[in-house]
Structure 1
Amino acid sequence: MGETINVLSHSVDEKAASIKRLLKMIFGASTEKTATVTKKRKPKGNSQPKEKKKGHGRNGAADYTGAEKTTVAHAQLKHKDRCPACLKGKVYVCKQPRTLIRVTGTSPLTASVVELEKLRCNLCGEIFTANAPQDVGEEKYDASAGAMIALLKYGNGFPFYRLQNLQDSIGIPLPASTQWDIVRDFYWHAYPAFDELIKQAAGAKVVHNDDTTMKILSMVNETQDAKRKGIFTSGMIAVVDGHKIGLFFTGRNHAGENLADLLSKSEADLGPPIQMCDALSRNVPKDFKTLLANCMSHGRRRFVDVYDNFPDECTHVLNVLGKVYKNDADAKAQNLSDEQRIELHQNRSGPLMKELRKWFDEQFEEKKVEPNSGLRQAIKYMCKHWDALTLFLRVPGAPLDNNVCERALKKAILNRKNALFYKTERGARVGDLYMSLIHTCELCSANPFDYLVALRENSSEVKYQPDQWMPWNYKQAASEIKS
């Protein structure tokens, strides 16, 4: 009877944890911070007043980097004129002018209609047409139009039909089919830069990878004959010479197979890269050796899921991992090198992880954790992948988690959520290119709109020197052409 009660109790606990995970999947989790999970509150009496951040919470003029700036000179006075107030001193230009910000509304794509006057001879019938302005050519959609459509669609998940409805309501029609024609033609101007990103990512020291499900309509009918029925978008973040490169690949291949294709383009004398991913076997390339690191966040989340059933044990684990993350944050704040960072972790995080592993072993050896319970499964997961989870203590540059790749995949997930699918494999390749270029710009703090415009306007130079037109150095190449 007692065993039956235990089995039922465990089943109820597992169902509760499963329902909690399901609710997170449906509605999302606002945060998984330890203080929130454990419902910890700071004492009111002894707590220090929180220091207020400087500023008033508004965006200053310096934040409007894309705004058009205009300088207005004083109407009556100029530099070193006599002061009209005291009639003795001289006025000088202040370093900080008074700034006024004016935000106006406009459609994502605007249009202008230029009417060229035509004159016709009443005798011979010859027609004379006025010359078009220098900035107006025969091309209907310029580089900025293609860049804006690509940025809205693949950077912000704005479907073609939704942009079509918006433009129609403003009186500047832009059919969805026309939008596709524009980004498809734009694809070939940007492809050399995308191909160069892949080549440079192949030689990365650290590579993050993961994948998410996707749908391509033209491949749906092929699932009956295909060996693999699933369709995925793989996301990769490669760290090369201090730059982060974001790549996306959509098709039937898993993340590990796409990573193998990427590493096949690397030089033979390069050592194995550090690979950060979750513990799924499909994320690991079969034909290439990597220094495997598993995501600490995935292991931590298992304790978050079962916290309600085992609050004391989970609080202990979350507090220890919180200290490890604090050490990593200190290393980033101090801008430590990879060697200095691993030394910091070995001195501070090493003892913490050693004690945590000892605590895990005690739970099994002293039978403190019940068989088949959610806590046992969480501990078992950590112990099974312990070497990969603690690679940051042995290899310089090994990251703690795969969060940067998880964030990157949100771009593909947003597109899937709003547009539901790609129609063809060609459409998926176009989407992969634009998402890769746009997200790499975001990782490098570059303006993706300006970058796409630069690729289109300088397509001939990009074709022959793509390494000079990367998101982190394209401005220099563009300025040399203008000069």
Structure 2
Amino acid sequence: MQNNKIMTQTFTDISSQELDALIERITQAKAHQLTLSPEDCELLLDALLTLASMQEKLSDNDITISKLRKLAGIVQSSESLKSNLAKGKKSTPHGRKNKAQAAQIKPEVIHHKHTDLQKGDNCPECPTGKLYKFEPATFLRITGHSPFKPEQHVMERLRCNACGAYFTAPVSDEVIADGALHQKYGYSARALMSISKYYAGSPFYRQGSMQDLLGVSISASSIFDQIEQAANAVYPVQKYLTELAATAEHYALDDTKNRILNQTSVMKKSRDGKTRARTGVYTSGLIATVAEHNIILFQTNIGHAGEFIDEILQKRPADLAEPILMSDALSANKPSKVMVKMSLCNSHARRQFYDVHSHFPEEVAWVIEEYGKIWHHENTVQAQSLPADKRLAYHQQHSLPVMYRIANWGQAHLDKGTVEANSGLGKAINYYLKHFAGLSAFCCIEGAQLDNNKMENQLKLIIRDRKNAMFKKTQAGADIGDVLTSLIATCADAGVNALEYLTVLQRYSDKLRLNPELYLPWNYKSQSPD
């Protein structure tokens, strides 16, 4: 009789994702003595009925593999598939990228138990009812506190009254994991100081003033000392990333002015090969794409971005194919040691037109509208996640005609004399025509990008720090900033928790000196349980 009831039961498909989530909730309920919601109870009942039906069918030898997979929820039923197709593909909502969400920290679960009531007690509201466990109430609370918390560790000591030997109680493993014994500032504190300075752009003095306000006084000089120790500990990884960058398939390059207060002029070779006194301080930024990972590097010194890429490419193995380099059209950004496939930033070309919009509103409006079509095509390519070869074919079909249309339009204006060559619009047209090959490289070279916006966004870290701190005092201080900013930016791009990563690198500084390749942002978790 029971079997007939099972056979007539209408089952609901339970997907593997729903089943995994249910298992997790049941595990939490068991661990914390919680009750299940009515929805979870219904899912659990469906799972049990499905299991009973499977056992019965298997015992009767009256089931095919296809039916078994459908019954177990491994594949959807035809009705479910049909309904999903009718709904169509949902559009991805605008917002943060999924990889950035991977670095989010789960909230700490804090349980509050009744002190006056417990299961089985009489109901305080009525004379007849009994209390039983029900689905708990819950809310999320975000708390605020000082970024740094002082901890005074008091270790019990015993002393022998005969020999005078001391026996000190050991500290917990958690304390040792954040720093050596008697180390005042933990690894996590040093990492947070580094992120506040080189990602949030908070100068040392501002951090010290903020800590005075919050009741945990730390001087600006102490913050710099701790950041220097953090940089020394993690430097082997940054050095290895610089060597690994030499093998990249694609580079994005740019630079911005900076200032080192104590820096004097130095005798250094220019790009023309002549040695002369030079004073210009720049921070050069580089994104090197190796496989599916982006390595972000910064270098602050007297020199341009082209000299930085020369240093990287000098270490490049000779048997590798020519890489693609994305930059603006400045000759100082071009490498001189190794041949590369040049692609130029279309955002720079578009900006040339946009800057003269007030003087040539109709002409510039047409160019901006045409250029907008190209970025629309790029958005379409990204939305469809097309591989490099199909992306190239798509741009050749849709974007290259637009590029030629703008070029022909500009050349016609110059030929007819309707636009003076020395005017603002004439200079924008000449820039476009002169660098057309590099600007249209994304339509001719597989893997070439449309613009250099990603590198320019990374340089905002440097610009933010420069605006807030005004300058670096010494070249050594600039080098420290380059090491930490490079690692923090690489973490941010990879969706890795930079605070956790810098803390782990300091904790295992002895090991990473020997094998830095095992402690990169995308593989360091496999080397430790952190």
- Aligned twin of 2:256: 212
Q: What is the rounded CA distance, in whole Å, between the counterparts of 2:171 and 2:191 in structure 1?
A: 23
Alignment partner of 1:440 out of 465, 475, 490: 490
Q: What is the rounded CA distance, in whole Å, between the counterparts of 1:174 and 1:91 in structure 2?
A: 49
Q: What is the rounded CA distance, in whole Å, between the counterparts of 1:279 and 1:234 in structure 2?
A: 15
Q: Per-residue CA shift, 1:422-456, capped at 9, x if unaligned?
A: 11111111100000000001111111111101111
Q: What is the rounded CA distance, in whole Å, between the counterparts of 1:64 and 1:439 in structure 2?
A: 14
Q: Per-residue CA shift, 1:127-171, capped at 9, x if unaligned?
A: 967625324432211110111111111111111111111112222
Report the secondary structure of 1:267's partner residue.
coil
Q: What is the rounded CA distance, in whole Å, between the counterparts of 1:156 and 1:220 in structure 2?
A: 29
Per the TM alignment, residue 265 of structure 1 is displaced from its structure 2 partner at its CA by 1.1
Structure 1 regions of 5+ residues with no counterpart? 1-50, 79-86
Q: Is the 8 A contact 1:255 1:283 kept in 2?
A: yes
Where in structure 2 are the equivalents of 1:276-287 lying within 5 Å? 276-287=326-337
Alpha-carbon distance change, 399 to 307 in structure 1, aligned in 2, over 3 angstroms: same
Alpha-carbon distance change, 255 to 112 in structure 1, aligned in 2, over 3 angstroms: same
- Aligned twin of 1:408: 458
Q: Larger relative contact order (C-alpha < 8 A, sep ≥ 6)?
A: 1
Alpha-carbon distance change, 71 to 127 in structure 1, aligned in 2, over 3 angstroms: same
Q: Which amino acid in the other structure matches residue 189 of structure 1? A: A
- Aligned twin of 2:440: 390
Report the secondary structure of 2:528's partner residue.
helix
Where in structure 2 are the equivalents of 1:176-255 lying within 5 Å? 176-220=220-264, 227-255=277-305
Q: Per-residue CA shift, 1:229-275, capped at 9, x if unaligned?
A: 10110001111101111100011121001100001111111122111
- Aligned twin of 2:151: 112
Q: What is the rounded CA distance, in whole Å, between the counterparts of 2:163 and 2:210 in structure 1?
A: 44
Alpha-carbon distance change, 221 to 262 in structure 1, aligned in 2, over 3 angstroms: closer
Identity of aligned residues (%): 36
Q: Is the 8 A contact 1:203 1:266 kept in 2?
A: yes
Q: Which amino acid in the other structure matches residue 236 of structure 1? A: L
Alpha-carbon distance change, 339 to 63 in structure 1, aligned in 2, over 3 angstroms: closer
- Aligned twin of 1:32: none
More off after superposition, 364-373 vs 189-198? 364-373
Q: Is the 8 A contact 2:287 2:295 kept in 1?
A: yes
Q: Per-residue CA shift, 1:28-60, capped at 9, x if unaligned?
A: xxxxxxxxxxxxxxxxxxxxxxx99989x9xxx
Per the TM alignment, residue 466 of structure 1 is displaced from its structure 2 partner at its CA by 1.5
- Asked if residue 161 in structure 1 is aligned to residue 199 in structure 2, the reply is no
Alignment partner of 2:503 out of 438, 443, 453: 453
Alignment partner of 2:169 out of 131, 134, 147: 131
Q: What is the rounded CA distance, in whole Å, between the counterparts of 1:365 and 1:109 in structure 2?
A: 67
Q: What is the rounded CA distance, in whole Å, between the counterparts of 1:53 and 1:239 in structure 2?
A: 26
- Aligned twin of 1:7: none
Alpha-carbon distance change, 393 to 54 in structure 1, aligned in 2, over 3 angstroms: closer
- Asked if residue 301 in structure 1 is aligned to residue 351 in structure 2, the reply is yes
TM-score by length of 1: 0.78
Q: What is the rounded CA distance, in whole Å, between the counterparts of 1:184 and 1:106 in structure 2?
A: 25
Q: Is the 8 A contact 1:118 1:127 kept in 2?
A: no
Q: Which amino acid in the other structure matches residue 113 of structure 1? A: Q
Q: What is the rounded CA distance, in whole Å, between the counterparts of 2:440 and 2:146 in structure 1?
A: 50
Alpha-carbon distance change, 273 to 119 in structure 1, aligned in 2, over 3 angstroms: closer
Q: Is the 8 A contact 2:266 2:277 kept in 1?
A: no
- Asked if residue 319 in structure 1 is aligned to residue 369 in structure 2, the reply is yes
Q: Per-residue CA shift, 1:104-130, capped at 9, x if unaligned?
A: 111121111234467899x99969676
Report the secondary structure of 1:279's partner residue.
coil
Alignment partner of 2:325 out of 269, 275, 282: 275
- Aligned twin of 1:335: 385
Q: Is the 8 A contact 1:116 1:129 kept in 2?
A: no
Q: What is the rounded CA distance, in whole Å, between the counterparts of 1:117 and 1:91 in structure 2?
A: 43
Q: Which amino acid in the other structure matches residue 133 of structure 1? A: V
- Asked if residue 144 in structure 1 is aligned to residue 188 in structure 2, the reply is yes
More off after superposition, 99-108 vs 407-416? 99-108
Alpha-carbon distance change, 419 to 377 in structure 1, aligned in 2, over 3 angstroms: same
Report the secondary structure of 2:343's partner residue.
strand
Alpha-carbon distance change, 452 to 275 in structure 1, aligned in 2, over 3 angstroms: same
Alpha-carbon distance change, 92 to 391 in structure 1, aligned in 2, over 3 angstroms: farther
Q: Which amino acid in the other structure matches residue 101 of structure 1? A: L
Q: Is the 8 A contact 2:146 2:214 kept in 1?
A: yes
Alignment partner of 2:217 out of 173, 176, 186: 173
Alpha-carbon distance change, 99 to 288 in structure 1, aligned in 2, over 3 angstroms: farther
Structure 2 regions of 5+ residues with no counterpart? 1-89, 121-128, 176-180, 269-274
Q: What is the rounded CA distance, in whole Å, between the counterparts of 2:379 and 2:472 in structure 1?
A: 39
Q: Per-residue CA shift, 1:187-208, capped at 9, x if unaligned?
A: 2220111012111211111101
Q: What is the rounded CA distance, in whole Å, between the counterparts of 1:52 and 1:101 in structure 2?
A: 29
Q: What is the rounded CA distance, in whole Å, between the counterparts of 1:128 and 1:240 in structure 2?
A: 55
Q: What is the rounded CA distance, in whole Å, between the counterparts of 1:332 and 1:420 in structure 2?
A: 38
Q: What is the rounded CA distance, in whole Å, between the counterparts of 1:468 and 1:210 in structure 2?
A: 29
More off after superposition, 164-173 vs 372-381? 164-173
CA-based RMSD: 3.2
Report the secondary structure of 1:105's partner residue.
coil
Q: What is the rounded CA distance, in whole Å, between the counterparts of 2:451 and 2:203 in structure 1?
A: 32
Q: Which amino acid in the other structure matches residue 167 of structure 1? A: Q
Report the secondary structure of 2:316's partner residue.
coil
Q: What is the rounded CA distance, in whole Å, between the counterparts of 1:156 and 1:189 in structure 2?
A: 21
Q: Per-residue CA shift, 1:356-401, capped at 9, x if unaligned?
A: 2221221112222134221111111100100000001110110011
More off after superposition, 466-475 vs 395-404? 466-475
Q: What is the rounded CA distance, in whole Å, between the counterparts of 2:153 and 2:512 in structure 1?
A: 32
Report the secondary structure of 2:225's partner residue.
helix
- Aligned twin of 1:418: 468
